[in-house]
Amino acid sequence: MSSSDRSTAAAHPVLQAQPHADPVDVSIIIVNHNVKDFLYQCLRSLERASAGLSCQVLVVDNASTDGSVAYLEPLFPTVEFIRLDENIGFGRANNAALDRARGDFLLFLNPDTLVEERTLAVMLDYMRAHPEVGMSGCKVLNPDGTFQLACRRSFPTPWASFCKVFGLQRLFPRSPLFARYNQTFRNHDETHSVDAVSGSFMFTRRSALEAVGGFDPVFFMYGEDLDLCYRISKAGWKIAYVHETSLIHFKGESTRRSSLDRVAVFYQAMELFVRKHHGRSSLFVLLLRLGILVRSALAYANRRRRSLGLMLFDLAAINAALLVATRLRFGSYFGFPPYAYPAVFVALTAVTLV
C-alpha cells in the first residue's frame, strides 16, 4: 500500500461492520444534496430491486436546503438518514456512512438514478462468483436510453488524458489508440475488466475498501471515483464492468442545483488526480493544464453560445453600419484616410465590447 493509501486509511479507521448488528447482503450508501424528488424515485426503485435480499440503505444528506430529510424520512422509515451541517463533498460524505455499514458488499449510488429490479441481485451474484474483483459497475444509461460513456473508463494516463482533453477521442471513437479513456472502441454489451467505473454506481467489496481506507477526502466532487478505483487496483483487485443489468442516471442534477461550476470542478479534479498519481511528469501536468484551459473555454463558450452569438451579431452590425455611414458621407465604403484602417474598426469593436 502506498503512502497516500495509508494516509487515507488512517483517516477512516472504522470500516468494520458493527459487531452487534445484524449483517446484510448489501449496504447502499447514497449522498444527497438538494435532489429530494430524484432521491424519492431512487429509493422507490431500490425497494423493488431489494426484494429477496437483505439490504441496508444509508442516505447522507449534504446540508440540503430543499427539505430532503424532513420530506423523505417519514416515507422511508427503514432508511437510515445521516444529516450533515455543511456540504463536505461527495467522497467525505460517503466516508461518513462507512462506520454504520453492515454489509460485506457496499454500493455507492447516486440519488439521481433509477435501478432495475434485478440490478442488485445480478451484481451480488457476479461479485460472489468473482472473488478477485474488488469493485464493479453496471451499464449506465441516459434518460433517453443512450449509453453513458463514464460508466467504464481507463485511468487518465498521460496519453489517455491528452486524447481526451484535446479531442482525439471524439475524432476517433473506434480507435484503441485514441479512445482509451472512455473505451468507446469496446462493445458495451460485453462484460470485461476496466480501469474504473462511474461514481454513480460503485458495487464494492468490503475487504477491498478496507485495504485502501475509503474515499480520499481531498477530492470534493469528481475524481474521487477514479482515485478510489486506482487505489483498489493498485492493492491487487480487479475492476469490472458488468453489462447484464443497467440503471438510468440523470447526470449532474446535484451539481446543477448548487452554486458549483461543474466544468471547472471536473477539470480541477482531473488535474488533482494527475498531480497525485503522476506528479513526477511536469511536462504532462503542463500539457494537461493547457488542455484544461482550452476545454474549459470551449465549454464556457458552449454554455454561453446564445449570448456570444448575439454579441458577435452586434459587432458585425456596428461595423457594417460604419461602412454604410462612410459610404453615405464620403461616397466610398473606405472613405477615411488610409492610415485610419484597420484602427477605426479595431477601436469601434473594442468600444462595443466594453
**pLDDT score for 2:** 44
Number of separate domains in the chain? 2
Give Cα separations from 92 to 36, 62, 227 (angstroms). Answer: 20, 10, 13
* pLDDT greater at residue 10 or residue 277: 277
H or E element: which one contains 270?
A: helix 262-278
What's the CA gap between 334 and 198, in Å, rounded?
59
Please indicate, yes or no, whether residues 19 and 127 belong to a single structural domain of this protein.
yes
Report whether pLDDT(108) > 50: yes
**pLDDT score for 281:** 64
Last residue of a domain, one of 235, 258, 281: 258
Q: Tell me which residue range forms the domain holding 319.
A: 305-353
Q: Are 265 and 221 in contact (CB under 8 A)?
A: yes
Please indicate, yes or no, whether residues 88 and 148 belong to a single structural domain of this protein.
yes
**250 located within any domain:** yes
Please indicate, yes or no, whether residues 185 and 114 belong to a single structural domain of this protein.
yes
Q: CA 243 from chain center: how many Å? A: 20
**pLDDT score for 231:** 93
Q: What is the pLDDT of residues 201-224, one digit of tens each?
A: 999 999 999 999 999 888 877 788
**295 located within any domain:** no
Report the percent of the chain where pLDDT is more than 70.
86
Please indicate, yes or no, whether residues 246 and 314 belong to a single structural domain of this protein.
no
Q: What is the pLDDT of residues 89-106, one digit of tens each?
A: 889 999 999 999 999 999
**pLDDT score for 263:** 63
Please indicate, yes or no, whether residues 54 and 178 belong to a single structural domain of this protein.
yes
**283 located within any domain:** no
**276 located within any domain:** no
DSSP string for residues in 194-262 = ESEE-TTEEEEEHHHHHHHTS--TT--SSSHHHHHHHHHHHTT-EEEEEEEEEEEE-TTHHHHTSS--H
Q: Are 51 and 132 in contact (CB under 8 A)?
A: no
Strand 152-153 with 238-249, pairing: unpaired
Please indicate, yes or no, whether residues 313 and 221 belong to a single structural domain of this protein.
no
**172 located within any domain:** yes
| Burial environment of residue 186 by CB neighbours within 10 A (0 to 12, 13 to 18, 19 or more) | middle
**264 located within any domain:** no
Indicate which CATH number applies to the domain containing 205: 3.90.550.10
**pLDDT score for 309:** 83
**251 located within any domain:** yes
Q: What is the pLDDT of residues 252-268, one digit of tens each?
A: 655 554 545 566 666 66
Q: Mean pLDDT score of the chain, rounded to an integer?
A: 86
Q: CA 196 from chain center: how many Å? A: 12
Report whether pLDDT(284) > 70: no
Please indicate, yes or no, whether residues 186 and 318 belong to a single structural domain of this protein.
no
**297 located within any domain:** no
Please state the pTM of the whole predicted model: 0.74
